[in-house]
Each structure stands twice: as structure tokens, then as C-alpha cells.
Amino acid sequence: TPPTAFAAADLGATSGRVVIGRVGRDTLDLTEVHRFDNTPAQLPDGLHWNVLGLYQKILDGLREAARTVDIASIGIDSWAVDYGLLDADGALVATPFHYRDTRTGPAVAEVWNRIQARDLYRITGLQHLPFNTIFQLAAEKQLDRARTILLIPDLITHWLTGSTGTEATNASTTGLYDARTGTWSQPVLTALGLDAALLPPLRRPGDQAGTLLPHVVAATGLPEGTPVTAVASHDTASAVAAVPATNAAFAYISCGTWSLAGLELERPVLTDASRAANFTNELGIDNTTRYLRNIMGLWLLTESQRTWQARGLPHQLPHLLDQAARSRPFAAIVNPDAPEFLAPGDIPARIAEHCARTGQNPPADQGATVRCILESLALAHRHTLRQAAALTGRDIRVVHLVGGGSRNELLCQFTADATGLPVVAGPTEATALGNVLVQARAHGLVDDRTAMRRLIARTQQLRRYTPGGDTRAWDSAAARIGLS
Ligand code: ADP
Ligand code: LRH
């Protein structure tokens, strides 16, 4: 039998793509049909996503996919936490905010006044990030006009099909979802005074969300009745589903705009120690727990590149990475998760300030800045994985690094050296592969999670990095910024 083709639309914070995944008995092949930038817009009231533009690009990609091959189903995933509001007529109330918008500052304390952070963690198991949906909703000025809250992939799915639902892996990033019961948390909603009717019913990865609306059929050339399948619509959940692990003692780092580093568990860890370490218990496929922590990730690099570009300085990745490779090791180290790195702006200047504050000489040039970013990320990877192992009593034998960051050889090698563990890098498009394989599984083409991972391990290009270098140098660099 010939392979079956699925379309996956994957929206990352830096770029989006539509890919075709062809899945056969023992084959898996991914073809990118459309890639586009995801450029947020700073408006007078704050930082927003251009969701209509992204939707249009997805339609363009689907049209290209339809021209290429028969598409059995479509899956949509994106970054987490952000949402659109629909009014009683189903119209978008306002342009969705970007999670890097700073409006949630005062909302955090307001929420914790209504429900203590400790109680919230015991229910949701969610790490504290100032932009979690729960804080955004507390800062939301348009809630009175809203009848429905839709997370970004659910909003796109709604525009494609007219159906309304919330996919559960992404719901688990809101702060409104009970990690123990797998339902919206009524106690949390009550504490916040949020009407449960605003939140659409939950869907699970593999559920059918709906079929394309007639005008979408007309716009894309896809056949009438083409289904949209709920995938693990949180991009990180799709990426973790596609980690090509063959050894049970694996850790993963989904490395792109963010580094999401952690373990796959059978159940959440809701202890005070886990909360103190700010680990999250987000939902994975098959009701697994994604026990991980957000690390600031390659945002530090892309945002530095943006600053340099605006100043007319060299900003191309190959050049910068080459300069970094030639720079002196451990000249400057920062804690990548310092709050000042979250909002858009002049990251190189903030790194210099951070160094000055911590008694270090600021990086001397662009190469030194990039080296500082990559070594600091490797140290944060190491710190996070060690804590994950300690908090769960798990052994880690191998680190799978997936996402766009797996193409950064320096970062992969640094991560192996810092952790003292072998790093298996790839696939680069883990998220899109996870999206495709959840659809393929819903269509009966793949048996289970293990089979999905084996198929990826067998068919995708992976690169192995062996730990080396001077372990003690990493130890002392870590100690310098309290990341031991
Ligand atoms: P997201 O889904 O969050 O938008 P991706 O997984 O697409 O992120 O990863 C994007 C990142 O991957 C870029 O910021 C860049 O740093 C890195 N990257 C992409 N291509 C390369 C490459 N050829 N070499 C090194 N790094 C790369
Ligand atoms: C990665 C990601 C991450 C979230 C952040 C908002 O794209 O989904 O898992 O914490 O974006």
C-alpha cells in the first residue's frame, strides 16, 4: 500500500510551516511545502501576534499541499498559553496578545491573592511563568465581551472547521487545568471568578475536531470532508511525542525559541520541592506528564541577531557561530532565565549589564556574546536535567535534543560536555513529525508511542555528540552563577 499523506501546520514563535508527512508501514517522510516568518507587531496597547496573517499563510500552505498529494487529514499546533476571544457572534474580539507582552506584571499578585501559589501548583502542577494564561486573563480588559476563549491552535482549527474545542495538552499550560483529574479546574475558575462556559470542552490528541468549512475547501482546493484532527496542539507536546528515544532512561530538550528540558513521566509530581524548583507538569500524549522547565533558549540569540541587524552589524547565524567557536571559553556566563531577558529588546546590552552585576567582564564582541549565550544555555540544560533527575529519582543515560537548536553544533556539543551525557541531536522538525504521527495513529497507521518513536529513530537523520572537554571548567562556570 502507498503511504498516507497528512498535512501539519506548526506555528513556532519565530516561524511557521506547513509540511506534508507521508507515513507508510515502515516509512516516514517529511516535505516542507511552505515556511513563513512569524513577526509580532508592537501596537500602542502592547505586543500582539498577527494571527490573521498566520491563518492566511496556513491556507497558502494547505493549498500547496493539496496541489502536491491527496491529504488524509490536517493537524494544527502552535506555541502555548496565548488565546483569542470570540464574542457571541463568533467574531474575534481583539488581536491576541503575545506572551512576551508585559501587561501581566500586576496580575500575578492579584491571582495569588485569590488563590495561593501553593494551592495552584497542587492542582495544576504548572511552573510559574508570568505569562501563563491564568495571569493574562486576569489582565484581560475585553473579557466582558467574550463568550469563548480559544487557544491559538484551537482558534485556527475553529476558523478552518467552525468547530469549538480546547485540545488538552495545550489546556495544561493555562493554569486552569487540573493535572490530577485531566479536566478544567472548577475551584481555580471559581477563585478567579471566571465563567466555565468561556472554556470549550476538552479534546484529546487523536480526536477528530471537524471537517473543513466550504469557503476553506474553496480557498485551498482540498476535498470537501477533509478532517482536521486534534493533535498534541501544544508544540512542545508534539515535539516530545517525536523524541526518537530507544532507551527508557532518556531526557529531552526541545530546543528552539525556548529550551524545554525534562523527562517524560507516567504521572505528575506536585510536591513543594517540585514547585520550589519551578518544574512544570504539562500534559503529553497518552496522558503522560511532561516534567520540564522552560529555559530562555535560542530567543537570546535570535533577539541579539535582531538588535545587531537593526544596527547594521553582521547578524548571519553561520558567521556568528563561527566567531563564537573561536572565542575564549567561559569568559562570561549568565543565568539565561533572569527575568530581564524575557521581553523583546537589546539582549546584548542586557547580557553586558548582567555580567557587570555579577562581577564579570562583559563579552568583548559579538562572538563572545554568542559564546556566552551558548555556554550559559548548556549550563542551564545541565542544571535543569540534574534537578529533574533528583526530583523524580530517575536516571538519565541519554539526552535527546530536538527542534531547530539541534542544527547548532556548538550548542549540542556544549550540552554533551556540560551534562557529561551523550546527546542525540534531531530531528529538527520534531514538532511537525509529532503532529503528523498523532494523525497517522488516529488513522490506524502506527500502533503506539513506542512505535512512533522507533519509526522516527529509524527514518530521520540524527547526530550523536559524545561528552568531552574539561568537566571541572563547566563545574566552576556553573558555580559562578549559581547553576550547579
Ligand atoms: P520555534 O519553533 O520556537 O520557532 P525552531 O525549532 O524552529 O523554533 O528553532 C529555531 C531556531 O533554530 C533558530 O532560532 C535558530 O537559532 C536555530 N537554527 C535554525 N537553523 C539553524 C542552523 N542552520 N544552524 C544553527 N541553528 C539553527
Ligand atoms: C514553545 C512554547 C513553550 C511555552 C512557550 C509559550 O514554543 O510552546 O512550551 O512555554 O512556547
User: Which 3 state secondary structure label does DSSP give 193?
Assistant: coil
421 vs 481: CA distance, rounded Å? 22
66 vs 64: CA distance, rounded Å? 5
235 is catalytic: yes
Contact between 478 and 382 under an 8 Å Cβ cutoff? The reply is yes
Write out the three cell numbers for 346.
537589546
396 vs 67: CA distance, rounded Å? 45
Nearest ligand 2 atom to the CA of 131 is: 6
Q: What angle do CA 73, 201, 159 make, to 5 degrees?
A: 45
Tell me the β-bridge partners of 73. Answer: 6
One DSSP character per residue, 120-172 reads HHHHH-PPP-TTSHHHHHHH-S-GGG-SEEEEHHHHHHHHHHS---EEHHHHT
| Mutation probe of ligand 1 site: the residue of 408, 409, 413 with most atoms within 8 A of C-beta | 408
Residues whose CB is less than 8 angstroms from the CB of residue 138 and which lie 6 or more positions away in sequence, other chains included: 104, 107, 110, 111, 192
Phi, psi of 28 (to 5 degrees): -155, 120
In this structure, which ligand is nearest to the CA of 284? 2
Query: Cell 506536585 sits at which residue?
Result: 270
Local confidence band at 290 (pLDDT 50, 70, 90 cut-offs)? very high
Structure confidence at residue 469 (pLDDT): 87
Contact between 47 and 41 under an 8 Å Cβ cutoff? The reply is yes
Question: Does 484 have pLDDT greater than 90?
Answer: no
71 vs 65: CA distance, rounded Å? 7
Local confidence band at 193 (pLDDT 50, 70, 90 cut-offs)? very high
Q: How far is CA 232 from CA 181, 235, 338, 396, 407, in A?
A: 18, 7, 29, 25, 24
> Residue range 413-425: average pLDDT?
98
Cβ–ligand 2 contact at 80 (below 6 Å): yes
- Rounded distance from Cα 316 to ligand 1 centre (Å): 12
Tell me the β-bridge partners of 251. Answer: 399
Cβ–ligand 2 contact at 81 (below 6 Å): yes
- Rounded distance from Cα 82 to ligand 2 centre (Å): 10
Structure confidence at residue 12 (pLDDT): 98
Atom 19 in ligand 1: which residue has the minimum CA distance? 404
Atom 2 in ligand 2: which residue has the minimum CA distance? 79
Structure confidence at residue 268 (pLDDT): 98
Structure confidence at residue 185 (pLDDT): 98
Phi, psi of 347 (to 5 degrees): -65, -45
Residues whose CB is less than 8 angstroms from the CB of residue 312 and which lie 6 or more positions away in sequence, other chains included: none
Cβ–ligand 2 contact at 49 (below 6 Å): no
Question: Does 434 have pLDDT greater than 90?
Answer: yes
Contact between 20 and 66 under an 8 Å Cβ cutoff? The reply is no
Question: Does 458 have pLDDT greater than 90?
Answer: yes
**More reliable by pLDDT, 431 or 469:** 431
Cβ–ligand 1 contact at 256 (below 6 Å): yes
Tell me the β-bridge partners of 202. Answer: 166
Structure confidence at residue 398 (pLDDT): 98
423 vs 467: CA distance, rounded Å? 8
Strand runs (DSSP E) across 358-431, as ranges?
398-402, 423-425
Cβ–ligand 1 contact at 15 (below 6 Å): yes
Q: Indicate the residue type of 169.
A: T
Average pLDDT of the chain to the nearest whole number? 97
User: Which 3 state secondary structure label does DSSP give 295?
Assistant: strand
Nearest ligand 2 atom to the CA of 129 is: 10
Nearest ligand 2 atom to the CA of 79 is: 8
Q: Is the dihedral of CA 388, 391, 394, 395 positive or negative?
A: positive
Contact between 383 and 483 under an 8 Å Cβ cutoff? The reply is yes
- Rounded distance from Cα 259 to ligand 1 centre (Å): 11
201-212 burial, b if ≥16 CB within 10 A, otherwise e? ebbbbbeebbbb
Contact between 270 and 180 under an 8 Å Cβ cutoff? The reply is yes
Write out the three cell numbers for 320.
556568528
Nearest ligand 2 atom to the CA of 258 is: 1
In this structure, which ligand is nearest to the CA of 83? 2
Cβ–ligand 1 contact at 297 (below 6 Å): no
Atom 18 in ligand 1: which residue has the minimum CA distance? 404
Q: Indicate the residue type of 14.
A: T
Atom 12 in ligand 1: which residue has the minimum CA distance? 404
> Residue range 125-131: average pLDDT?
98
Cβ–ligand 1 contact at 239 (below 6 Å): no
Cβ–ligand 2 contact at 79 (below 6 Å): yes
Active-site pick, 235, 365, 395, 448: 235
User: Which 3 state secondary structure label does DSSP give 108?
Assistant: helix
Nearest ligand 1 atom to the CA of 301 is: 16
Structure confidence at residue 328 (pLDDT): 97
In this structure, which ligand is nearest to the CA of 13? 1
Instruction: Give the tens place of pLDDT for each residue, 318-334.
Output: 999 999 999 999 999 99
Question: Does 253 have pLDDT greater than 90?
Answer: yes
Write out the three cell numbers for 69.
498529494
- Residue 356 burial (10 A CB sphere; 0-12, 13-18, 19+): exposed
Residues whose CB is less than 8 angstroms from the CB of residue 114 and which lie 6 or more positions away in sequence, other chains included: 191, 192, 193
Write out the three cell numbers for 153.
491552535
Give me the interface pTM, i.e. the ipTM.
0.99
User: Which 3 state secondary structure label does DSSP give 28?
Assistant: strand
Structure confidence at residue 180 (pLDDT): 97
338 vs 354: CA distance, rounded Å? 9
Instruction: Give the tens place of pLDDT for each residue, 217-227.
Output: 999 999 999 99
| Mutation probe of ligand 1 site: the residue of 233, 235, 257 with most atoms within 8 A of C-beta | 257
- Rounded distance from Cα 241 to ligand 1 centre (Å): 19
Structure confidence at residue 1 (pLDDT): 81
234-264 burial, b if ≥16 CB within 10 A, otherwise e? bbbbbbbbbbbbeeeebbbbbbbbbbbbbbb
Cβ–ligand 2 contact at 299 (below 6 Å): no
The rounded percent of the chain whose pLDDT value lies above 90 is 98
Number of H helices, E strands in the chain: 18, 21
Contact between 291 and 264 under an 8 Å Cβ cutoff? The reply is yes
Instruction: Give the tens place of pLDDT for each residue, 144-158.
Output: 999 999 999 999 999
59 vs 10: CA distance, rounded Å? 13
Cβ–ligand 1 contact at 370 (below 6 Å): no
Write out the three cell numbers for 445.
497507521
Instruction: Give the tens place of pLDDT for each residue, 256-285.
Output: 999 999 999 999 999 999 999 999 999 999
| Mutation probe of ligand 1 site: the residue of 10, 11, 14, 235 with most atoms within 8 A of C-beta | 14
93 vs 136: CA distance, rounded Å? 15
Cβ–ligand 1 contact at 435 (below 6 Å): no
Q: Indicate the residue type of 232.
A: A
Instruction: Give the tens place of pLDDT for each residue, 35-49.
Output: 999 999 999 999 999
Question: Does 384 have pLDDT greater than 90?
Answer: yes
- Rounded distance from Cα 464 to ligand 2 centre (Å): 26
